[in-house]
Amino acid sequence: MTARQGHLFIVGGREDREDDMEVLKRYVDLCGGPDARIAVLASASALLENVRKAYDQAFDQLQVHNRIWVPVTDRREACNDAYANQLAESDGVYITGGDQKRLLATVGGTPIENALRRALRERGACIGGTSAGASAMSEHMLAAGTSGLLPEKGAASLAAGLGFLRHVVIDQHFSERRRLGRLLSAIAQNPGLIGVGIDEDTALVIGADRSLEVLGSGAVTIIDGRHIRSSYLDAAMHERLEILNVALHLLPAGCSYRLASADGSPVSDSSVPEAVRDILWTMTSIDDENR
């Protein structure tokens, strides 16, 4: 394992790629700076050239010239060992937006997915994902749903994600697209999960050193439904749900938490919300060779 700690860099979409670029600057910093080797994976998108142009321009402005474009668009390409090795040997991988179902149907269970895990585990890489790439980060992925203002039965459906976080489900474009009702619907159906909603141009950064920070122009909403009571089981499909005893935490940009000291020993801090502690401890271990 390298001295550098791995990070998950989870972006709610529409990160600034032209002006201050606070989110992308921090991503580059966690990869090791402008000289880092950064791979861009756009398997979630059907508009590859548009996506490539946008990120080429952004990384050019940030003086990141040691980058590669990994053109994986189908499962045959996702089984290409050369592409997988490019990802595994990178200091950072950035998974672009698009459709998270397309992303998992393309790379799920392939050498590409294994390479992402190797990069995190063996190189301490920064694995980033924006929009669809953000939703795919967790073990349970929000695959589809409606964006009604109130939670309804059947308003969200889940699928398997990449699994870098366990017992978590992530939604993106959260405040801008009014997705609180959708995420509450998902949690009512699956109360053992912790819901994480990330605003646009906002990043949730989770470190293998058990650290968490929020940066950008918005906030991260955390929904902990593990103690809830709801009408989900008795409700008809698309009926609005009664949900009681749900815990909601709002972490604006600038918030940070740490559960381990510099030497790796645990830090006891009762001010850290239970849901935040659990998110940090359920990040897939970079030492777990079997994941």
Does the annotation count 238 as an active-site position?
no
Pair of tokens at residue 204: 């949730």
- Which among 173, 185, 213, 230 is annotated as catalytic? 173
Tokens of 81: 């060992």
131: annotated active-site residue: yes
Is 173 considered catalytic here?
yes
Nearest to 223 by CA among 142, 146, 124: 142
Active-site option among 185, 200, 213, 230: 200
C-alpha angle 177/215/145, rounded to 5°?
25
- Given 43, 45, 90, 131, which residue is catalytic? 131
The answer to whether the CB of 107 falls within 8 A of the CB of 113 is yes
Residue 18 CA to residue 236 CA, distance in Å, equals 46
Q: How far is CA 97 from the centre of its chain?
A: 11
Give DSSP secondary structure letters for 53-83: HHHHHHHHHTT--SEEEE---SHHHHT-HHH
Say which residues have a Cβ less than 8 Å from residue 72's Cβ, sequence separation at least 6: 41, 43, 78, 80, 83, 106, 107, 112
The set of catalytic residues is 131, 173, 200
